[in-house]
Amino acid sequence: MPLLGGYCLIAGAFAGPLLRLFYGSRYADQSTTLRLYAAFTLISSVGLISCCALKARGFSRYYFTSWLAAGLVTLPVSWALIANWGVEGAVLGMTVAAALFTVKIKICLSDISSFH
């Protein structure tokens, strides 16, 4: 996790120069999108690691219900974000979904841990 966190921090902090280095001027105006995607990657990784813990304990149902809850909340929010901010709104919507999923998974893990 520290390696991924460092990678996401570097990608976010140096988004503009990295895009110019690898893609020239073609994507130079997309640094905000890359920063948002770096945040999404980090947040979703935390959720997926926690999800593996649930699956290993045999609680796959919580994985499904967590994604379902996140999807039901973020679908209308994502439409509004995309309508207002385009690609950046889409990545922001993905980040919101990943954050909600991660929070729900963490709640499930704490509930399960308190019973076992």
Give domain limits for the chain: 2-115
Mean pLDDT score of the chain, rounded to an integer? 88
The whole-model pTM stands at: 0.81
How far apart CA 5 and CA 35 sit, in angstroms, is 13
The reported pLDDT for the residue numbered 54 is: 80
The reported pLDDT for the residue numbered 116 is: 57
State both tokens at 85: 């901010």
State both tokens at 11: 């990608």
Nearest to 112 by CA among 60, 48, 47, 64: 60
Q: How many other β-carbons are positioned within 10 Å of the β-carbon of residue 82?
A: 16
